[in-house]
Structure 1
Amino acid sequence: MKVLLIGATGYLGSAVADSLTEAGHQVVELARPGDDRPGQGRERRVGDLTDPRSLTQAVTSDIDAVINMATPSGDAETDAAAVAALTEPLRGTGKVFLYTSGVWVLGATGPDPADENAPTNPVPIVGYRPTIERQVLATAEDGVRALVIRPGIVHGRGGGIPALLVNLAREHAAPRFVGEEAVRWPMVHVDDLADLFVVAVERAPAGTLWHGVTEPAVAVHDLASAAGRAAGVSAEPRGWPLDQASETLGAAFADALTLDQSVSGDAARDKLGWSPRREGAVADLLEGSYR
């Protein structure tokens, strides 16, 4: 398949590009106008998420799938217009449009793992994303193989939010976490998640939504402790008051880090044959890519 990948140079996007290529697919990068950074030897097209016409022009008839991994603009109308522009050329073709959302749209989930049928209750930083999800999935009625993936908190390759925990441990000379010690995060290794994108593009039915999660609920205390070890800090983890964290990280992001969540990714394993095989988040921090 020839896949137009939006966000191909990002943390997750680069992993997805690698997995698609390894699976035999051809990746086409969408770059912003004026972006002259060296590429990876892939075909590159130009488009801007604030310019719907440029997006539609990038989805030519030779494109078999579009994966949108771009960071949301923060403006609901802009992102909705981008989705409409990207899906317009795909209508009636049965070709793939895959939108990347996230588990924060679920809000605090309670003790039992939330599956794909759980109601959404988004925190402010992802407030309008459920609306975009519905917009994407509705295009299945117009002949688009529309898909949504909600990743958990991504780790691996030394990046993502766990890298923030390592940096905080260094800066504060003690592991830090925002909010309550009992908070849990659903986790997934970036390369396992990239594999899920590949199997979804290859075989997921139209109009379906999937959770990209391998560990449903990892205690943030354990993650912070492991991050401290990775940073060479031996002190016990300490809570970082939300008001102080908000001053440094921004209120919306800091608030999201306080979410206590348990999320199931079993459906993708059972129905798509997704086979995660990388180490868990705590082991990755202690022994893997963050050392």
Structure 2
Amino acid sequence: MRILIVGARGYVGSAVAERLSAKGHEVVELVRPGGDRPEGPYERRLGDLTDPGSLTAAVTPDIDAVIDLATPTGDAATDAAAIAALTNPLGGTGRAFVYTSGVWVLGATGAAAAHEDMPTNPIPIVGYRPGIERQVLATAQDGVRATVIRPGIVHGRGGGIPALLVDLARKHGAPRIVADPAVRWPMVHIDDLADLFATVAEQAPAGTLWHGVTQQAVPVRELTIAAGQAAGVLGEPQVWPLDQAREQLGTLFADALALDQSVSGQRARDRLGWQPRHPDAVTDLREGSYH
């Protein structure tokens, strides 16, 4: 397959592009015009989320699938227009479109693990994202093999939010938890997630939604202790009052880090044969890619 990736240079996007290429697919990356971005290993096309015409022009008939891993603009109308521009050329063809959302659209889940059929209750940082999910899935009625993936908190390759935990421990001389030591995060290793993206692009039915989660509820206390070890800082975590975390990290992001969730990713294992193989988040922080 020739697969156009929007956001192929990002943290997750680069891993997805690498995985697809390793499986024999041709990756085409969509990059914004201008700048001094170095040439990469993939064919390049130009496009910008704020310019719908450029997005539509990039989805030529030789493109078999589009994976949207771009960071949202923060404007609902702009993102909705971008989705329309990327999916319109796919209408009536059965070609695939994979949209990247996230588990934060579920809001606080309570004790039971949330699955894909649960209603959304998004926190403000992803407030309009469920509407974009619905827009994507609705294109299945127009002959697009449209799917949505909601990754958990991504770890691995020394990046993502866990890298922030390491930096905070190093900066403050102690592991830090935002607001509440009882918070849990659903986690996924970046390379397992990349494998899920490849599998969904290859075979997932139209109109389906998948949780990219390998550990449904990891105590953040354990993550922060492991992050401290990675930073060379031992000891019990300090609770970072929410108002102080908001001042440093921004209100929306700090509130997201204080969100308690349990989310199941079992459906992808059962129905797509997804087989995560990489280390769990605590092990990765303590012994793996964050050292």
| Same fold flag (TM > 0.5) | yes
Cα distance in 2, alignment partners of residues 193 and 128 from structure 1: 23
1:172 maps to 172
Cα distance in 2, alignment partners of residues 265 and 23 from structure 1: 23
2:25 maps to 25
Q: CA deviation at 1:109?
A: 0.2
Cα distance in 2, alignment partners of residues 20 and 114 from structure 1: 29
RMSD, matched Cα: 0.5
Cα distance in 1, alignment partners of residues 16 and 241 from structure 2: 35
**Does residue 2 of structure 1 match 2:18?**
no
Q: Map 1:198-213 to 2 at 5 A.
A: 198-213=198-213
SS of 1:116 mapped into structure 2? coil
1:248 maps to 248
**Does residue 95 of structure 1 match 2:95?**
yes
Q: CA deviation at 1:70?
A: 0.3
Q: CA deviation at 1:235?
A: 2.1
SS of 1:30 mapped into structure 2? strand
Q: CA deviation at 1:35?
A: 3.5
1:271 maps to 271
Q: CA deviation at 1:177?
A: 1.1
SS of 2:112 mapped into structure 1? coil
1:122 maps to 122
1:224 maps to 224
1:140 maps to 140
Cα distance in 2, alignment partners of residues 28 and 36 from structure 1: 18
SS of 1:198 mapped into structure 2? helix
Percent of residue pairs bearing the same amino acid type:
72
Map Cα deviations across residues 81-131 of structure 1 (whole Å, 9 max, x no partner). 000000010000000011000000000000111000011000000000000
Cα distance in 2, alignment partners of residues 146 and 99 from structure 1: 8
Map Cα deviations across residues 224-281 of structure 1 (whole Å, 9 max, x no partner). 0000000000121011011000011000000011111000000000000101000000
Q: CA deviation at 1:67?
A: 0.4
Q: CA deviation at 1:186?
A: 0.1
Cα distance in 2, alignment partners of residues 240 and 279 from structure 1: 28
Cα distance in 1, alignment partners of residues 153 and 119 from structure 2: 19
Amino acid at match of 1:165: L
Q: CA deviation at 1:37?
A: 1.4
Cα distance in 2, alignment partners of residues 276 and 154 from structure 1: 13
Amino acid at match of 1:217: A
Map Cα deviations across residues 13-33 of structure 1 (whole Å, 9 max, x no partner). 000000000111000000101
Unaligned runs of 5+ in 1: none
Q: After the TM superposition, which parts of structure 1 deviate over 3 Å for at least 4 consecutive aligned residues?
A: none
SS of 1:185 mapped into structure 2? strand
Cα distance in 1, alignment partners of residues 271 and 40 from structure 2: 33
Unaligned runs of 5+ in 2: none
Q: How many equivalent residue pairs?
A: 291
Cα distance in 1, alignment partners of residues 273 and 23 from structure 2: 15
Q: CA deviation at 1:179?
A: 1.4
**Does residue 37 of structure 1 match 2:37?**
yes
Amino acid at match of 2:15: A
SS of 1:256 mapped into structure 2? helix
Cα distance in 2, alignment partners of residues 36 and 52 from structure 1: 23
Q: CA deviation at 1:219?
A: 0.2
TM-score (norm 2): 0.99
Amino acid at match of 2:64: D
Cα distance in 2, alignment partners of residues 267 and 35 from structure 1: 41
SS of 1:28 mapped into structure 2? strand
Amino acid at match of 1:242: L
